[in-house]
Amino acid sequence: MITFVFTIEHDRDDRLAPLLAALKSASTGARSDRYWNEKIKPLMQAVGAMTDAHVRWSGRGGWHPHLHVTLPCLTADLEALRAGSAMLIDRFVERLAQSGYHASTAQQSATILDARPNAYPAHHHRRADVEGKLADAVNEDTSLSPFDIAELAAAGDAEMEGRFVEFFEALRGTKSGVITAKMAKKLGIEAGTDPGPSFDETTLVGSIPSPVWMKLLDLNLTGTFLSHVETFGRDGWQRSRWWALHQTGFAPPVDLVIADQIMLAIKAMALLSDPEAQAIGKSVLANQVDRWSARYGRDLVAATLSYAEAHAALNAHGNAEAEAMADVLDTWADKAFRRRRDAASHKTLLKSDSPHSAETVSQGSYNDHVGQFGRNSQHA
């Protein structure tokens, strides 16, 4: 077996995700092209690869990612293994340069292991080499593992909190040391098992675009955002999402006058217990949204509707206004019920148990009774 350590030159301001992506691309590319298949692989008699991504961070150098790549080989020819290793390192450095990054061959390493190594070939995320309490001993040159970063974040270090979140996002879904079925067959061993993630779509709270998340990282607001999500929970996800959009400057334009009217309608419908009154309210609101969309643009109104639904709990309208609108909807529902009852008793109309739409109830619209559905503000 031969274990390689592939690394990349970096500086304090480099993001972790692009560095890791370049490393993985160069490593995979060097082991998948024609030169590998015709020259290096037969020379080393390599039968697969186990890859493990390791990451450290320091205040002076920033992120330091590196890959441990272990190749099981079916030859004991040390000269062939050394020659093949040198060729693979050269190909890795060339591939890295093609993606715009740099590393010297001297920075890479290859170690021939015993036929039956008694330990995993990589030292996995060793603790920072400090004495005493980490928070008191760390300095610009201290090389921190992800566990060190998490420890400092838990102690209240805001920068470390952001660094750990960045690490988590960059390594999300990464698998290490996986023995594939093909490799296991050639080596005569059992294939590795992957239990998969411990979460599924039913546990998903929501998602935000990657540029929004990266901007939150830049602003050191990821911790605040996650606290927002914890506070308002699954039901308040849209409110948390809009908070993130506003903080990062990615929020689409909305019309606050239209949003105010939508929030009033939502608050009124929340007061209703009659399903038919609720259905009428939703129908009237949907028709009004269509009219706004035709007049002011579908994108603006769609964003405004999303904003209003997320912030309805913060609506400034008092209970009196919402109750007045709810009373109107209750009245419409009662009239619709009596109209169906009378029609059924006189057998002049077919009986229907379905709620009437807004067009069926000719009692005007929200703005005939409460407020105005006008629009007189600029985009906010």
Q: What is the pLDDT along the chain (380 residues), one digit of tens a residue?
A: 899 999 999 998 999 999 999 999 999 999 988 999 999 999 999 988 888 888 999 999 999 999 999 898 999 899 999 999 999 999 999 999 998 999 999 999 999 887 655 555 555 556 666 666 777 777 888 889 888 898 888 888 899 999 999 998 888 877 666 666 776 776 776 766 555 445 555 667 788 887 888 788 778 788 788 888 888 888 788 888 889 998 999 988 988 888 888 888 888 888 888 888 888 888 888 888 898 888 888 888 888 888 888 887 665 445 677 777 777 777 877 777 777 777 666 554 444 444 444 333 333 444 433 333 333 333 33
User: Using CA atoms, how far apart are residues 298 and 289, in angstroms rounded to an integer?
Assistant: 9
Q: What are the DSSP calls for 43-100, one per residue? A: HHTB---EEEEEEEEETTTEEEEEEEEEE-BS---HHHHHHHHHHHHHHHHHHHHHTT
Measure the CA–CA gap between 306 and 309, rounded to whole angstroms.
Answer: 5
Residue 51 pairs with which residues in a beta bridge? Answer: 69
What's the CA gap between 285 and 278, in Å, rounded?
Answer: 11
Amino acid at 351: K
Residue written as token pair 């939502």? 266
| Strand ranges of the sheet holding 62-71, from the earlier edge strand across to the other edge | 50-58, 62-71, 2-7, 109-112
CA 245, 251, 255 angle in degrees (round to 5)?
Answer: 135
- Please say whether the beta carbons of 36 and 91 come within 8 A: yes
The three-state secondary structure class of 109 is strand
CA 289 – CA 278 distance, rounded (Å): 16
Angle ∠(48,52,58) on CA atoms, nearest 5: 150
H or E element, residue 220: none
Residues 6+ apart with CB under 8 A from 100: 22
Q: 3-state SS string over 1-13?
A: CEEEEEECCCCCC
The terminus-to-terminus CA distance of the chain in angstroms comes to 63
